[in-house]
Amino acid sequence: MKQKLEALILTAVDTLKNEGVIDAGITPKITIENSRDLQHGDFATNVALVLAKPAKSNPRALAEKIVAALPKDELVSRIEIAGPGFINFFINPDAQFQIVSQILDQGAKFGLSQTGAGQKVQVEFVSANPTGPLHVGHGRGAAYGSVVADLLEAAGFTVHREYYVNDAGRQMDILATSIWLRYLAECGEVVPFPTNGYRGEYVREIAGDIHKSAGNDYRRPAELIVEDIPPDEPQGGDKETHIDALIARAKTLLGVSLYEDFFQIGLKTILQDIRQDLAEFGVNYQEWFSERSLMESGAVEEALDRLRQAGYLYEQDGATWFASSRLGDEKDRVVIRDNGQMTYFASDIAYHMNKLDRGYDKIVNIWGADHHGYIPRVKASIEALGADASKLTVLLVQFAVLYRGEEKVQMSTRSGEFVTLRQLRNEVGQDAARFFYVMRRSEQHMDFDLKLATSKSNENPVYYVQYAYARVCSVLRQLDEKNWERDITLGMDNLNCLREEHEMALLTTLARYPEVLERSALMYEPHQLVHYLRDLATEFHTYYNAHQFLVEDPVIRNARLNLICAVKQVLSNGLLLLKINTPEAM
RNA sequence: GCGCUUGUAGCUCAGCUGGAUAGAGCAUCGGCCUUCUAAGCCGAGGGUCGCAGGUUCGAGUCCUGCCAAGCGUACCA
């Protein structure tokens, strides 16, 4: 609809150019909007206002000339000039009706577009360290990321969803050592648990399982473990050096192979838990990409070599640095520490190099907002590798703060008392969890009210949309009970009897769906879809209260049924994208 | 100190990339169930869009400077 209008306006502008009214060199940026106010027609454009200055003309006068030059089209029933020079278009009602048959014809495909056809996009999200279960913060990234990916797919992109598994590095060593220490406790060895260890209950469970299946195979005497270990924080020492020493001790006492058992079992168990958690939440991936595989395949060395050849690496204080400050980062970054270990950033460079080499047109990373400081250095590394950094988009998701009514829910990873995603799902349910996560702009700090999400009342916005869907279903059931046949063709042939204000409003809203979907996708803003569905539900509920659908007159009845079935279809398409259920009865 | 993000109704948030009289939900107040589900609808009140400048026909939206909140500023991941 908008495209047609745009074409008409362009023709008019061209005519005026030929007449010399407008300088031929000017190409206006035409914006067409859905009018907010019905008095302003269905669509409005500001071309006249934009062109007034370069054309050295009064906007209203110019608007009149443009309107005069507009080709006649049956789509438009009336054109008005308003305010400072807006051109308002009133769409011919007959043209609006076709949306109903279009929706019912296309069904689940209505709204999908081919905008991104032929383009490959990779979306990486969640990527939480596999050192414990996902918590509510990850949940927001999961819901947001999966919907963004699905929206892109709906817009025609080929989407590759990926989880980057940090299965290398110190955090994993801390996990392995934590499990071992808990295991020793199972065996009866008394070793104080380090401040910096993972204290969650799940660590004990994994340790317990190992003890059950392996008995005392991994048991080592407590004296040997604590011998000469520097003190922990409560004893006046440093918790970091303390735990590092414990890790080193674990490796010596167990040997590489046995230590690796703990590492692998911990990784496997937790990763399995994360996968299952996400799958239950409706979040699925094409690939779980291992950081370790980058180290083992030599990809990290290769990436560093490429940076070195490009002249971006230098040695200082025994460490190897990447000169990211030359490419916009605030300071240079260490890639190889003075102890010879690669930093996390080094493998991250290799990972992004790998993504680029895979030939994606777009790379989308969804990160927690606390990682924002990382963006400049990653972009710098991509540029240093000679690639196009604009291919990478990093979307930040702000933390969700949990409330239970007025009361803030405390979360602490240290104590192991944090609220897990699983607990949240169980408490508020799948639909409410997804809806709440995705109904706010991702950059918006979010208050997640558990009480509101759990409430099965009118306070809860999730039910509002679902209820609209269920109501349509209910009407169709009533139709059956009355033994009335639904005559789709009769309804289609008589859509022009849908002249009530509420019906016209529904038609325009329905027609907006494809555009909303595309915008949501291209702007990575699922909340736009959520708001749209809310609006559609509102208009349906209003209509429902204002008019009876199951009326005696079969012509009006079937026309209205077709309209509400179109509403049902669009609600279903939208909710499906959000992976929110469409209950037939509530 | 510097950087990123955010300041819009009592609360939680939208605001379609600069447009017309700033919108919704919750909360408050008042109405609507013998007729398709009242998890709904209709109506009312509620605003210096953090503050101050600037850009222009026009600013919640853009630019500058302040103020406030969250996060980040590691040879941690």
The complex scores an ipTM of 0.95
CA dist., res. A277 & res. A133, Å (int): 9
Q: Which amino acid is at A131?
A: T
CA distances from A208 to A179, A184, A525, A585 (A): 9, 10, 44, 45
Q: How many CB atoms lie within 10 A of CB A389?
A: 20
The answer to whether A556 CB sits below 7 Å from nucleic acid chain B is no
**A343 contact to strand B (CB, 7 A limit):** yes
Q: Which helix (H) or strand (E) holds A316?
A: strand A313-316
Q: Which nucleotide, over all strands, has the C1' atom closest to the CA of A371?
A: B72
Residues 6+ apart with CB under 8 A from A293: A299
Q: Which of A264, A32, A80, A61 is nearest to A165 (CA)?
A: A264
Residue with tokens 């206006």: A28
Collapsed DSSP state (helix, strand, coil) of residue A336: strand
State, as a whole number of angstroms, the distance between the CA of A41 and the C1' of B60. 24
Strand B at less than 7 A from CB of A437? no
- pLDDT score for A416: 47
CA angle A91, A97, A99 (to 5 degrees): 100
Both ends of chain A: CA-CA distance in Å?
36
Q: Which nucleotide is nearest to A35 (CA to C1')?
A: B20
Helix (H) or strand (E) holding A446: strand A446-449
Distance from CA(A459) to C1'(B32), angstroms, rounded: 19
Distance A529 CA to B15 C1' (A): 14
Written as one string, the DSSP assignment of A225-271 is HHTTPPPPGGGTS-HHHHHHHHHHHHHHHHHHHHHHHHHHHHHHHHH
Give the count of beta carbons closer than 10 Å to the beta carbon of residue A209: 15
Asked if A576 CB < 7 A from strand B, the reply is: no
Tell whether the torsion through CA atoms of A103, A107, A109 and A112 is positive or negative.
Answer: positive
Which nucleotide has its C1' atom closest to residue A448's CA? B12
pLDDT of residue A418: 53
> Which sign does the torsion angle of CA A549, A550, A556, A561 carry?
positive
Query: Which residues from 345-404 of A have any strand B atom under 7 Å from their CB?
Result: 345, 369-374, 396, 398-399
Chain Cα centroid distance, residue A345: 24
Integer angstrom CA distances of residue A201 from A132, A198, A318, A413, A416: 10, 9, 40, 11, 7
Radius of gyration of chain A from its Cα atoms, rounded to whole angstroms = 30
Q: Which nucleotide is nearest to A464 (CA to C1')?
A: B39
Which are the contacts of A189, defined by CB distance < 8 A and separation ≥ 6? A219, A220, A221, A222, A225
CB A169 within 8 A of CB A238: no
pLDDT of res. A23: 75
Question: With pLDDT > 90 as the criterion, what percentage of chain A qualifies?
Answer: 66
Beta bridge partners of A135: A420
State, as a whole number of angstroms, the distance between the CA of A179 and the C1' of B45. Answer: 60
Contact (CB, 8 A) for A478 and A550 = yes
- Is the shortest CB-to-strand distance from A340 to strand B under 7 Å? no
Say yes or no: Cβ of A546 under 7 A from any atom of strand B: yes
Separation of A443 CA and B70 C1' (Å): 11
3-state secondary structure A262-303: HHHHHHHHHHHHHHHHHHHCCCCCCEEEEHHHHHHCCHHHHH
- The secondary element (H helix, E strand) that includes residue A87 is strand A86-91
CB proximity A56–strand B (7 Å threshold) = no
Residue numbers 499-528 of A with CB closer than 7 A to any atom of strand B: 519, 523, 525, 527-528
Which residues in chain A come in under a pLDDT of 70?
26-29, 410-418, 455-459
Each residue of A285-305: pLDDT tens digit? 999 999 999 999 999 999 999
Q: Which nucleotide is the nearest neighbour of A316, by CA and C1'?
A: B75
Q: What is the pLDDT of residues A172-196, one digit of tens each?
A: 999 999 999 999 999 999 999 998 8
For strand B, the positions having any atom within 7 A of a protein Cβ are 2-7, 12-17, 19-21, 24-27, 35-42, 56-58, 70-77
How far apart CA A106 and CA A109 sit, in angstroms, is 5
Residues 128-157 of A with CB under 7 A from strand B: 129
**A569 CA from B32 C1′ (Å):** 29
